[in-house]
Amino acid sequence: MTAASELSFFASADGEIAYLDTGAGDLVVLLHAGYVDHRLFAAQTPVLAAGHRVLAVDIRGHGWTANATRPFRWADDLAALLRHLDVGPAVLVGVSMGGAVAGDTAIEYPELVRGIVLSGASVSDFQYTHEATRKVVEDSQRTLHSGDIEGWLKIFLGSAAGPFRSPDELDPRILDHLREMALHTIAKHTPGERNWHVPMSDTWARVPKIDVPVLMVNGALDSPDLIEDAERFARTARHGRSVLVEGAAHFPNLERPEEFDALLLEFLRGLRHPG
């Protein structure tokens, strides 16, 4: 696990953005799911850093990055960090919420992006259509706003298992890892506080403009609407493809790290040697 002392900090216009900066070479930026932090990629970071420069970012309001005090957009935060470091274009790798951040950034700041990998994600204004997924989201928001942290944590860990399994079917080490990160992020917030995030709109209409290679990686046991929209994203982007990882749900990078890493490295090699 990364210690806070190993992180770097960028003084943005609204507080510090924390990130792990390791390795050397072509740039890969890792963007975590909601409620967790850069440690979601603990298994991927050293593998990628063996041949790349890796930035594993704590998204605003998560991990060691400051909470928002005014309206913000994910893509603007990431673009500000990359410009501050004078790096890029980068390959953006995002899981769940982090995938939405990657897609938003590819749309808004194409000059900073040379490829994107989205896992458990599609567009940032995604609409849940699968009944079980929609219920999880609604129950999660209700319990979190009420301050029932234990109840919320149970729902959150259940969502990691996907709609077809129980959390008991996941490796306990994965559950402990997610629990530790989630409790750390939740401790930064208070029930019912204002959400300053400004979502992008009409993102589906803008996906065809993404003109970099796109790889969608989904766990085959994840929610059907997430998988369907990932495949739609791959068809809609100019250079997209979609892959399913068997035996995994919303976090294939945790459940099947070797397979996930192999897909990432293959994608990165393709950028270096197209065709």
Domain harbouring 202, CATH code: 3.40.50.1820
Has residue 162 been placed in a domain?
no
Instruction: Compute the average pLDDT of residues 259-264.
Output: 98
Distance separating alpha carbons of residues 89 and 99, to the nearest angstrom: 17
Residue 129 has pLDDT above 70, yes or no: no
Has residue 183 been placed in a domain?
no
* pLDDT for 138: 74
Distance separating alpha carbons of residues 220 and 138, to the nearest angstrom: 23
Has residue 140 been placed in a domain?
no
Instruction: Compute the average pLDDT of residues 180-208.
Output: 93
Per-residue pLDDT reduced to its tens digit, 49-104: 999 999 999 999 999 999 999 999 999 999 999 999 999 899 999 999 999 999 99
Q: What is the mean pLDDT of the chain?
A: 93
Q: 190: how many CB neighbours lie within 10 A of its CB?
A: 9
Instruction: Compute the average pLDDT of residues 179-207.
Output: 93
Candidates 147, 44, 145, 154; CA nearest to 98 is 44
* pLDDT for 124: 86
* pLDDT for 219: 98
How many Cα atoms are found within 13 Å in the side-chain-facing hemisphere of 101?
27
Confidence bin at 236 (pLDDT 50/70/90): very high
Candidates 157, 147, 100; CA nearest to 127 is 100
Residue 130 has pLDDT above 90, yes or no: no
Has residue 251 been placed in a domain?
yes
Instruction: Compute the average pLDDT of residues 228-256.
Output: 96
Among 119-128, 167-176, 262-271, where is mean pLDDT lowest?
Answer: 119-128
* pLDDT for 144: 75
Residue 57 burial (10 A CB sphere; 0-12, 13-18, 19+): buried
Q: Count of domains in the chain?
A: 1
Distance separating alpha carbons of residues 93 and 56, to the nearest angstrom: 10
Domain interval for residue 53: 4-128+194-272
Has residue 142 been placed in a domain?
no
